[in-house]
């Protein structure tokens, strides 16, 4: 009996101690839950602060780079104006070829600075007139280093609308530069055009090194423009090509694909332009064979004694300077003589400058879509 009472007393003590331990465990678990919640709040606040700091650093870096890129663009634009002035002044001089090489190097620097500015959120320049798709591609060709390797197939009838000229020229220039950089120095690069349903395709085929599946997936993600990479993710030697193409393609409504294989075994890049970005090229009316002259001096039927010699022969009039061509004048307006155009290197110069003018945006403002 005594032993049974002792066992019962011991049982009650153990149960009491167990209840106290459970109570303390509950309190400890409650404090632990509170600590865990506080830790989650601290971690969330820390993550928010880190993301905000990264966003602020990214924005500040973009502002600095954009300002630097704008400065480079203004300097290259000034250099372009100086070079054009020299070329126009000394168009027939043998030094023209060297000036064109300097002009070409300046155009490459202008494209690079424009890509950096776009990557940092700067808009492209405005254009008010459409341009032939052939001229736009030729303009892009003139902005890469190995431009002589690019062959552009002649294409007539299609023109890009004004809002698409600058972005498409920049995108094609980046694709051509990428094709030239990842292929041999003597490998060909072909550009063709194809109309598929209501879309216009600019197709670039190179004979370079093909991409792996991983590289194709990464390139597709960059060209989609869905998640543009941060500047810190571009590496110590940043490559702005595909990220810039993705940004402008998404903004202006066209698509770029580099997953195809060219007939040379390299990469096939396709710029797909929907019908909203292109139109049929306007055909200029053929020039008239002879320029009409409004005012023609007529000979009077009656003899003027003052206009004849003593023997009755007509006097010779004052000799006038020859005029190569006559510009049509409005009724009652003066006739304006036009000099014949210069030939040789001067014509090459004017053609080169005319093609590069397509890729010369104004320094401020975005294009109106």
Per-residue pLDDT tens over the stretch 149-162: 999 987 768 889 98
* SS3 at position 250: helix
Residue-level pLDDT, tens digit, the chain, 369 residues: 777 777 777 888 888 888 888 888 888 888 898 888 888 888 888 888 888 887 777 777 777 777 777 877 788 888 888 888 877 777 777 777 777 788 788 888 888 888 888 888 888 877 788 889 999 999 899 888 888 899 998 776 888 998 899 999 999 999 999 998 888 888 889 999 998 888 999 999 998 888 888 888 888 888 988 887 777 777 677 788 898 999 999 999 999 999 888 888 889 999 999 999 998 876 655 555 544 444 434 444 444 455 555 555 555 554 444 433 334 444 444 433 333 333 344 444 444 444 445 545 444 444 433
Q: Are 277 and 158 in contact (CB under 8 A)?
A: no
Instruction: Output the pLDDT for position 284.
Output: 57
Pairing of strands 325-327, 336-338: antiparallel
* SS3 at position 367: coil
Q: Which of 216, 357, 197, 180 is nearest to 272 (CA)?
A: 197
Instruction: Output the pLDDT for position 192.
Output: 92
DSSP 42-82: HHHHHHHHHHHHHHHHHHHHHHHHHHHHHHHHHHHHHHHHH
Burial class (CB in 10 A: 0-12, 13-18, 19+), 188: middle
* SS3 at position 222: helix
**For residue 169, how far is the Cα from the chain centroid?**
5
d(CA 234, CA 230): 7
Q: Are 271 and 202 in contact (CB under 8 A)?
A: yes
Q: What is the CA radius of gyration of the chain?
A: 37
Place of tokens 């602060």: 49
Place of tokens 């061509």: 325
Q: Which of 114, 58, 69, 34 is nearest to 366 (CA)?
A: 114
DSSP 107-170: HHHHHHHHHHHHHTTPPPPP--S-EEHHHHHHHHHTTSTTGGGEEE----SEEE-HHHHHHHHH
Instruction: Output the pLDDT for position 137.
Output: 92
Q: Which of 261, 220, 211, 260 is nearest to 243 (CA)?
A: 220
* This prediction's pTM: 0.63
Which domains does the chain carry? 86-282+348-359 (3.30.565.10)
């Amino acid at each position: 009996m005594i032993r049974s009472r002792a066992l019962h007393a011991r049982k009650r003590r153990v149960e009491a101690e167990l209840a106290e331990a459970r109570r303390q465990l509950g309190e400890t678990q409650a404090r632990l839950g509170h600590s865990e919640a506080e830790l989650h709040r601290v971690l969330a606040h820390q993550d928010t602060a880190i993301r905000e700091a990264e966003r602020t650093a990214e924005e500040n870096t973009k502002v600095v780079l954009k300002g630097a890129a704008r400065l480079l663009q203004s300097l290259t634009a000034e250099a372009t104006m100086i070079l054009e002035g020299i070329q126009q002044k000394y168009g027939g001089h043998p030094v023209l070829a060297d000036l064109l090489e300097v002009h070409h190097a300046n155009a490459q620097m202008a494209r690079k600075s424009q890509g950096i500015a776009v990557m940092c959120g700067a808009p492209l320049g405005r254009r008010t007139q459409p341009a032939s798709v052939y001229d736009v591609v030729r303009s892009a060709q003139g902005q890469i280093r190995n431009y002589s390797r690019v062959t552009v197939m002649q294409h007539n009838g299609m023109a890009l609308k004004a809002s698409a000229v600058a972005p498409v020229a920049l995108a094609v220039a980046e694709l051509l530069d990428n094709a030239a950089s990842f292929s041999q120095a003597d490998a060909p690069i072909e550009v063709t055009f194809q109309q598929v349903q209501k879309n216009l395709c600019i197709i670039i085929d190179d004979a370079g090194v093909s991409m792996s599946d991983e590289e194709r997936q990464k390139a597709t993600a960059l060209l989609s423009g869905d998640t543009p990479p941060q500047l810190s993710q571009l590496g110590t030697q940043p490559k702005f090509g595909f990220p810039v193409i993705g940004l402008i393609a998404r903004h202006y409504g066209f698509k770029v694909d580099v997953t195809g294989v060219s007939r040379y075994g390299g990469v096939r890049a396709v710029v797909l332009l929907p019908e909203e970005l292109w139109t049929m090229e306007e055909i200029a009316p053929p020039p008239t064979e002879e320029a009409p002259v409004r005012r023609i001096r007529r000979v009077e039927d009656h003899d003027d004694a003052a206009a004849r010699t003593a023997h009755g022969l007509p006097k010779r009039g004052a000799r006038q300077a020859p005029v190569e061509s006559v510009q049509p004048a409005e009724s009652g307006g003066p006739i304006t003589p036009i000099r014949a155009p210069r030939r040789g290197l001067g014509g090459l110069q004017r053609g080169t400058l005319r093609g590069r003018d397509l890729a010369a945006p104004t320094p401020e403002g975005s294009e109106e879509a």
